């Protein structure tokens, strides 16, 4: 969008949003099936499949970034979505929790192609300020995933069992392959020069890892993602035990988070009409801490009704989602010729932190609302701390 700003969302951004949404969609869709998975496989610890998925997302992005800088954006996308579909088929056939964990890693190694290359495509086609606006629009498109995925997942689990979720995802992966082949144009700059020599790749990653702006903004978003993953990982058990929600009911409840993403996107676009992304982020990063503190105290001191939990959930997701587009735009702004590898490092740092959040839930979640709220508050505080650290380092340089 280096040209005049269009009056409507361009088709390429809709497609990039769809392929970027595959990663979170794949997480949210199978959440209503958590209790059924544990019952059928006769094992506890289904949260480990979430942590395994995030490990795959973290590692895979580091691979796709340099490849997309070298060969273009489309070839690794093809490979990624083939791998995604095969992993989904394997998950549908899993006979043990260990097998499901391994196949979720494989599925994640495919899904992360859309995440990392989607950000690179936005950077390819947009200047920094317009990139913030594009990322805000992208977030609104991606928000359809959290709306539709748990609702659809609840229906599928109720109608066919949890395995049907992964059959659906395999079909979705094949459909994305066709759409990308027909509609997506190559966007990698023709002047970009990249090598796949391991030593050179390591050197480039080391150079990027020493940039406090890239690392700091990545950690801000990473801990924000960690807050969300704490909730989506821990809430199925909490809601089924505390409120006896069915898979359908939980799916509808989780689907409301998509509305929170849309609201955050709208607030961001309005804010960007008056201020730059750095100014907007400076204000937005405070609100998750405020909301998280209130949520934790209410959960600890009171017996919150279901509607109170839903309100807190929506406020948490709105405040946290407001952070995301600005961190992406600011972190990737200096790296037009290396958008793929810079996006890969940013995404991997974010996913690594989210993986730690998933592990924390698996270890510390005792099925109570106040413990879940405390884990989420911790992530919000660390996100704010990362932002202050990045600003402090930038002020010294």
For residue 78, what are its two tokens?
A: 């093809």
* Residue (of 230, 207, 205) closest to 61 by Cα position: 205
Residue 5 CB: number of other CB atoms within 10 A? Answer: 8
Residues 6 or more apart in contact with residue 273 via CB below 8 angstroms = none
Q: What is the CA radius of gyration of the chain?
A: 20
Q: Walk me through the domains of the chain, giving residue ranges and CATH numbers.
A: 11-185+197-396 (1.20.1250.20)
* Residue (of 248, 228, 317) closest to 27 by Cα position: 228
pLDDT for 304-326, tens place per residue?
888 888 888 889 888 888 888 78
Instruction: Write out the E strands in the chain.
Output: none
pLDDT given at position 128:
64
pTM for this entry:
0.72
What is the Cα–Cα distance from 113 to 81, expressed in whole angstroms?
8
The number of angstroms, rounded, from the C-alpha of 170 to the middle of its chain's C-alpha atoms is 20
pLDDT, averaged in runs of 10, over the chain (397 residues): 53 85 85 85 81 85 84 88 95 91 94 86 76 76 75 88 93 92 78 68 84 87 85 79 78 77 81 82 90 90 84 88 82 73 82 78 80 90 90 71
pLDDT given at position 42:
81
- DSSP 3-state of 184: coil
What is the Cα–Cα distance from 271 to 279, expressed in whole angstroms?
9
């Amino acid at each position: 969008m280096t040209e005049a700003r269009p009056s409507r969302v361009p088709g390429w951004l809709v497609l990039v949003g769809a392929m970027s949404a595959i990663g979170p969609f794949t997480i949210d869709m199978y959440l209503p099936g958590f209790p059924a998975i544990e019952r059928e496989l006769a094992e506890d610890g289904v949260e480990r499949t979430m942590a395994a998925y995030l490990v795959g997302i973290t590692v895979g992005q580091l691979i796709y970034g340099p490849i997309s800088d070298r060969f273009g954006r489309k070839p690794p996308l093809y490979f990624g979505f083939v791998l995604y579909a095969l992993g989904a088929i394997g998950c549908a056939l899993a006979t043990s929790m260990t097998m499901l964990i391994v196949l979720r890693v494989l599925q994640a190694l495919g899904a992360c192609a859309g995440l990392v290359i989607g950000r690179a495509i936005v950077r390819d086609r947009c200047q920094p300020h317009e990139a913030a606006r594009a990322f805000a629009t992208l977030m609104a498109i991606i928000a359809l995933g959290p709306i539709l995925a748990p609702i659809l997942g609840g229906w599928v689990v109720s109608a066919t069992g949890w395995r049907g979720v992964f059959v659906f995802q395999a079909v979705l992966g094949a459909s994305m392959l066709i759409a990308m082949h027909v509609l997506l144009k190559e966007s990698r700059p023709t002047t970009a020069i990249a090598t796949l020599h391991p030593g050179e790749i390591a050197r480039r990653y080391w150079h990027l890892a020493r940039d406090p702006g890239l690392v700091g903004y990545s950690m801000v978003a990473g801990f924000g993602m960690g807050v969300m993953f704490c909730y989506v990982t821990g809430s199925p058990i909490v809601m089924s035990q505390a409120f006896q929600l069915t898979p359908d009911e939980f799916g509808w409840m989780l689907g409301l988070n998509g509305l929170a993403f849309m609201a955050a996107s709208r607030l961001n676009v309005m804010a960007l009409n008056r201020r730059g992304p750095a100014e907007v982020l400076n204000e937005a990063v405070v609100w998750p801490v405020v909301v998280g503190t209130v949520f934790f105290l209410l959960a600890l001191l009171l017996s919150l009704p279901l509607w109170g939990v839903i309100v807190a959930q929506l406020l948490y997701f709105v405040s946290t989602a407001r952070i995301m587009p600005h961190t992406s735009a600011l972190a990737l702004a200096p790296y037009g010729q290396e958008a793929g590898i810079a996006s890969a490092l940013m995404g991997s740092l974010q996913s690594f932190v989210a993986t730690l959040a998933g592990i924390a839930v698996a270890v510390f979640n005792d099925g109570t609302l106040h413990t879940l709220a405390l884990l989420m508050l911790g992530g919000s505080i660390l996100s704010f701390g990362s932002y202050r650290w990045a600003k402090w380092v930038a002020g010294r340089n």
